[in-house]
Chain A
Amino acid sequence: MSKFVDFGNALYSGDRSIDFIGRRKLWYSIAAVMIALAVVLPILRGGYNFGIEFKGGSEYRISAVGNKADSLASSAVASVLPTEVTHVTHVGTDSLRIQISNNDPVVSESVRVAIAKAYGVPSSDVASSSIGADWGADVTGKALNGLIVFVLLAAILMALYFRTLKMSLAAVISLLHDLVITAGVYGALGFEVTPAAVIGFLTILGYSLYDTVVVFDKIRENTFEVEHSESSTFAERVNLAVNQTLVRSINTSVVAVLPVASILFIGTTLLGAGTLRDIALSLFVGIVVGTYSTLFIAAPVYSHLREGEKKYKAAAKRVEAARA
Chain B
Amino acid sequence: MAVTALGAGTARRPVVRLRKMEDERWLALALLAPTAILLGLFIAYPFAEGVMLSLSSARVGDPGKFVGLKNFFKLADDNIFWTSVWNTFWYTGVTTVFKLALGLWLAMLLNRHFRGKAIVRAFVLLPFIIPTVLSTFAWKWMFDPTFSVINWTLFKVGLISARINWLGDADLAMASIMVVNIWRGVPFFAISLLAGLQTISPELNEAAAIDGARPWNRFWYVTWPLLLPVTMVVMLFSVIQTFADFQLVYVMTGGGPANATHLFATYAYQIGIVSGLLSEGAAVSLAMFPFLFVIVVVQLLYIRRVETR
> A and B bound?
no
